[in-house]
Structure 1
Amino acid sequence: MLKFVIYAILSGLILALGWPTHGFPLLLFFGLVPLLFAENKIVQMENLKRKGWKIFGISYLTFFVWNAIGIWWLHYAQEVNSNGELQNSWISYLFPVIANSLLMSIVFQLYHWVKKKAGYTYGLPFLPAIWMSFEKFHLNWEMTWPWFNFGNGFANYPKWIQWYEYTGTFGGTLWILVGNLIIFYFLYAYINLKEKKYLRKLILYSVLWIGVPIGISYAIYYSYEEKGEEITALALQPKLDPYTEKYSKESVQIVHELIELAHTKLTPEVQFVVAPETAFPGSGPGLNIDKLEEDYLIQNIRRGFSAFPNTTFVSGVELMRFYPYEKFATKTASKYGRSDVWYDVMNSGIQLNTQDPIQYYHKSKLVVGVEHFPYMSVLKPLMGDIMLNFGGTVRTHLTQEDRTVFKNSFNNAVIAPIICYESVYGEFVTGYVKNGANVLFIMTNDSWWGNSDGHRELLAFGNVRAIETRRDIVRAANSGVSAFINQKGEITSNLPYETKGALLGKAKLNNELTFYSQHGDYLARIGLLIAGILLGYVISLEILQFLKKKKIRK
């Protein structure tokens, strides 16, 4: 079994070395090959007992290595110890590593079971079908964690994936999985049969499978012309420590510093000033959503930009909604102290200018364990208040069903106010585009993990959203990286991490819908259909065999 353990570790290392932001994604086409070899060898060992458990164990080891290396930066999240001091949080790192590896292993075990019962003809196509089904599931359930969806692996190589405007990231997932199966199949045949024709096929088919899509992508890249009229925007990067400043500093001071920061680059030509996620308030409760126009901070912002009447301010903000009695409260509401008042908290985006009513949108893809307690009625009695408090509140925030877009009276910009974690979700972002968004504003505070790969990976995932929708992106981050990204998924300008400043740039307004924007994750739905048919077929075979054996015994 030792060699199978080595195979498993090798698979995990190859996948990790292919992952953003430092990895080379070509390795992803080889990452599952050692694991597939190990699974196949174990199946053929006639005297080996509990083969299924052994395959589950080595697959878990593969995915544990990949996950553990891929999100090593998560342990930089801080929590308060018994002495009231900040320390690295290992639970925020270990829980997703352990849980996600388990889910991936279950998926691989299903592949093994189908292949064992129905043979290669059904087993090999089942793997990409069930894996895409898993990734789609991981985008939508309450413990959503799509960070390791295979299609994200090319985020730092936008010239390779220009065809994502047709397929989204599931095109990349299918590309990687089929590539692994091609390499495994012909390499296995060559090693066992020693016939050079399999080696030639291995080289030919793998080069074509990997190279042709890259060639098509480069052709699209060099022929694509960015579309739409230009707007001028200013992205603010205030550089507030999320643990010691952002939620403890006086709100008036935070707003004053945001205005001062904007004025370092502000001119009458600037149409939008964009501030990061929860840019204000600081200490104390959020703004009362039903009394926004009366709010002192809002009035301060209006005064701060009064010399620029044609400029629109877009920012992340914490909002609250109050209910006089429990019977009026939502399921996500909490009791306010010892009073009879209940309230909701929203991580929101807000837009205000001199002409239009205040517009707002509530973040609706929440970070598990920070903004959202998944399956609270079941898990909270078991786990208690184990969720991390990253400067926010340990509760489930209020969300909304539809993707609100921001319009204004001064220009033709229709803004998608994307908040932090939402930028990981492809089909979710197309919801803004379908509602008319012609430019994407990403407001984020991803400095919880310090100067590590966390913020760099989230920035890179924005490249993918730009390609899928062919929308420019204006990205404002609390400590960085703030950036402008064009419709080809290229970062055209940025402010480095841990730099306080304001980034001035241009963005184009594209109103055309890509194929992916119109049809979303259709590849995943096809995969789900195929997986369901194949799984149903194998289950039917098992039932027939069971009935046949029962009949023979009688």
Structure 2
Amino acid sequence: MIIDQFLNKLKALPRAYKIYIAVLVAIEFVLFLLRPDTPGLYTQIPQLLPIIAALPFLFIKNVRRPFARYMNTYGIIVFAFLALDYLTRSHAGLYQIVTTFIPMMLYWFALFARWNVKLFKQKEARIALALATISWGFVAFAFPPLPLGPAMLVLLVPWFIMLNKYNRETAVFATFWASMVYNTVNYYWIRNVMNVETAPSGLIFLGLILLIAYLSLFNVLAAFAYSTAKNLKIKGKACLLALFPFFFAGIEMVRTTGDFAFPWNHLGYTFGNHLELIQALSIIGVFGYTILIVASNQIVAYAFLQKGRKKLALFAIPFAIFMVLLTYGSSVLSAQEAAPYYNANAPENPSIAMVQPSIAQGAKWSKARFDSIITKTFGMAMDSTPSGTNLILLAETAIPDHLRRQPQVIRRLHEMADSKNASILTGALDYKRVSADINNPRRFDIYNASFLFTPNDPYFPKRYIKKHLVPFSERIPFDDIFPILNYVDLGEGDFVPGKETPVYGPYNWTPYICYDAIFGDLIREAIQAGSRLMVNITNDGWFGRSTAPFQHLNIVRHLAVTYGYPVARLANSGVSAFIDQYGHYDQNTNIFETRVIQRKMPLKTRSTFYTSVGEFVEKALLWFFAIYLVALFALSRIQKKFK
């Protein structure tokens, strides 16, 4: 029956439209037969033939009139042959890719622009946009070091009022543009990468816009789901709305997962300026804080929209949550073992020195400055680290080259470890040859790594390879699934992620490079293996003088409290700091300050509840996210059917 309906629709198409389909298919088929067998990207002018052939049909009324059908047909046919080409020969044409996606993107952008203009002309949509922007605009100033953190319990109230008052289309429109404002303020510092990256500045700027839009879609999804649940006319509607805070936390968990993982600035990270307020992390984790924040705002917004005196009690919810967190945190920190760096001078605790040379990112990878960078960094390590130090830390890529290519540097590090009678952890690049084919873009696996030099050990140092690579900066997402992406060069690092999480003796510590330190699964893995200290080396020089280094430090502090996991954190250009298992800071450096800091670091003695349940909670949130969406879709369909 379905086939018959399809054939009938096909017969009803205008003759000119059938010719349009036949021409596109014929050209693509001929090009498919003529394409080379060599894997990779290739450039051949004939790849432009499909779009050239499609353009004249725009002047034929019977083809052009349903323009969406014209565009979608083109997109489906050329994409089908692109996929066929890749699946059968592991290659694709550069012009083929451009002419497949750019026309469709421009078409969708035109539709999106028209939709926005239509809505912006409506007074209700402009009011909704104002309410949403007030909320998300203030939220951007809630993450440390900015001061509005505790106000997060009410900052989203205007957004929730908007979600409750206006229809779904208006809510989605307002949330998208408010989130664009929020993410622009939150991630403006990515623009600093344009000053030091190898990719063209224009491309990085375009990438920044796309990243901001991508991150905004998560809030759009939340608005869409809430509005859909609100519009249901079933008995379970109240339950779905009550569960929305868990769904929002599920969205944040989705953002933490996969090749596009970017777990930066979850709502639960906003209380970091106040140590007492974040102690409950050890029980509920950052996603628990997100749930409390969203629930508080949702309840207050509901109270604003209700009539009668009963609603007055609801306005006390944010204050009650604040007082519970404050009281619990104060109680935890009043314990003797929660005193800052309690028992740090015990003989089993290591003395750690961290060298912050503040090498400018623009100069870091200059071959002409390599010797001066090494001289400065090693000189600080030799001259400014006190005797009795057990571990000396040098920052991520403190050796701005592949370490194996620098035998003299390796020799100097061995000599320094022997001279100081201390282990030295340094960041550097590494590589491994995996193919002899000179045409293979993956002849070498390149690693962002750390190396541990120990006293009186002449062998090649122990190596840790960074496991979570920054999307589009250190690798193209899914390049392991789609090898064709290895031929794409956007100036990214093309690194290969590591697989192992080491625990080094005698102090049972684990190295984390930059981004690794903000993923709870890696921390749980190390703790389960017996790790008692996180050593986090990073290079935040990319961020320039911005809020980003402080945001990065704040996330690490939250995880230290969540897992009772002390941290020695060294950033090339700051902010470096020691963090104990209750989140106390010590010796925080300034941005771009040249300094060596050192102290005895107490090891982990605290087991937290979230350490044992974190994996279950985070998997449950992912499942809940999926089930919530499926339930909304199913209930909406049922409601439409019986309407």
Bucket of the pairwise TM-score, normalised by the shorter protein? 0.7 to 0.9
RMSD over equivalenced CA pairs, Å: 3.0
Q: Kindly provide the CA deviation profile for residues 107-131 of structure 1, in whole angstroms up to 9, marking residues without a partner as x.
A: 3212221232246413323321221
SS of 2:364's equivalent in the other structure is coil
> Quick one: which amino acid aligns to residue 449 of structure 1?
F
SS of 1:504's equivalent in the other structure is strand
What displacement does 1:401 show?
2.8
> Quick one: which amino acid aligns to residue 589 of structure 2?
L
Matched, 1:18 2:142: yes
Matched, 1:132 2:249: yes
Aligned to 2:542: 448
Cα separation, 1, equivalents of 2:454 and 2:613:
34
Aligned to 1:372: 475
Cα separation, 2, equivalents of 1:36 and 1:185:
8
Aligned to 1:206: 318
Aligned counterparts, 1:507-546, within 5 A? 507-545=601-639
> Quick one: which amino acid aligns to residue 398 of structure 1?
V
Moved over 6 A (4+): 84-88, 377-384
Q: Which has the higher mean CA deviation after the structures are superposed, 456-465 or 511-520? A: 511-520
CA contact (8 A) 2:471 2:477 kept: yes
Matched, 1:109 2:235: no
Cα separation, 2, equivalents of 1:154 and 1:521:
23
Aligned to 1:48: none
Matched, 1:52 2:168: yes
Aligned to 1:91: 206
Cα separation, 2, equivalents of 1:372 and 1:173:
30
Cα separation, 2, equivalents of 1:424 and 1:239:
22
Cα separation, 2, equivalents of 1:451 and 1:96:
21
Equivalent residue in structure 1 for 2:262, among 140, 145, 154: 145
What displacement does 1:79 show?
4.4
What displacement does 1:279 show?
0.6
Higher relative contact order (CA 8 A, sep 6+): 1
SS of 2:469's equivalent in the other structure is coil
Aligned counterparts, 1:401-480, within 5 A? 401-407=499-505, 412-480=506-574
> Quick one: which amino acid aligns to residue 220 of structure 2?
S
CA contact (8 A) 2:265 2:551 kept: no
Cα separation, 1, equivalents of 2:482 and 2:423:
43
Cα separation, 2, equivalents of 1:86 and 1:257:
30
CA 1:538–1:425 in structure 2 vs 1: closer, same or farther (change >3 Å)? Answer: same
> Quick one: which amino acid aligns to residue 133 of structure 1?
G
Cα separation, 2, equivalents of 1:81 and 1:417:
26
CA contact (8 A) 1:168 1:520 kept: yes
SS of 2:559's equivalent in the other structure is helix
Q: Which has the higher mean CA deviation after the structures are superposed, 431-440 or 350-359? A: 350-359
Q: Which has the higher mean CA deviation after the structures are superposed, 209-218 or 243-252? A: 243-252
Matched, 1:5 2:129: yes
CA contact (8 A) 1:163 1:220 kept: no
What displacement does 1:314 show?
0.8
What displacement does 1:355 show?
4.7
Cα separation, 2, equivalents of 1:306 and 1:474:
22
Cα separation, 1, equivalents of 2:368 and 2:572:
14
TM-score, length-normalised on structure 2? 0.73
Aligned to 1:552: none
Aligned to 2:158: 34
> Quick one: which amino acid aligns to residue 266 of structure 1?
T
Q: Kindly provide the CA deviation profile for residues 81-134 of structure 1, in whole angstroms up to 9, marking residues without a partner as x.
A: 99x998995335322211100222023212221232246413323321221111
SS of 1:40's equivalent in the other structure is helix
Cα separation, 2, equivalents of 1:510 and 1:445:
25
Equivalent residue in structure 2 for 1:363, among 444, 466, 470: 466
Equivalent residue in structure 1 for 2:450, among 330, 339, 349: 349
Matched, 1:485 2:579: yes
Matched, 1:242 2:242: no
Cα separation, 1, equivalents of 2:258 and 2:435:
32
Matched, 1:334 2:441: yes
CA contact (8 A) 1:255 1:280 kept: yes
CA 1:404–1:274 in structure 2 vs 1: closer, same or farther (change >3 Å)? Answer: same
What displacement does 1:324 show?
4.8
What displacement does 1:207 show?
1.8
CA 1:376–1:383 in structure 2 vs 1: closer, same or farther (change >3 Å)? Answer: closer
What displacement does 1:209 show?
2.3
SS of 1:77's equivalent in the other structure is helix
What displacement does 1:261 show?
0.5
Structure 1 unaligned blocks of 5 or more: 43-50, 336-341, 550-554
Q: Kindly provide the CA deviation profile for residues 336-385 of structure 1, in whole angstroms up to 9, marking residues without a partner as x.
A: xxxxxx11111111111125562211111111111011134899989995
What displacement does 1:516 show?
2.1
CA 1:362–1:383 in structure 2 vs 1: closer, same or farther (change >3 Å)? Answer: closer
Q: Which has the higher helix share?
A: 2
Q: Provide the identity percentage.
A: 20
TM-score, length-normalised on structure 1? 0.84
CA contact (8 A) 1:187 1:202 kept: no
Aligned to 1:170: 287
Matched, 1:400 2:498: yes
> Quick one: which amino acid aligns to residue 34 of structure 1?
P
Structure 2 unaligned blocks of 5 or more: 1-123
Cα separation, 1, equivalents of 2:485 and 2:414:
47
SS of 1:316's equivalent in the other structure is strand
What displacement does 1:544 show?
4.4
Equivalent residue in structure 2 for 1:497, among 591, 602, 606: 591
Cα separation, 2, equivalents of 1:155 and 1:367:
23
Q: Kindly provide the CA deviation profile for residues 260-295 of structure 1, in whole angstroms up to 9, marking residues without a partner as x.
A: 11122233310010010011034xxx134xxx9x93
SS of 2:593's equivalent in the other structure is coil
What displacement does 1:64 show?
1.6
Cα separation, 2, equivalents of 1:137 and 1:486:
29
SS of 2:446's equivalent in the other structure is strand
SS of 1:305's equivalent in the other structure is helix
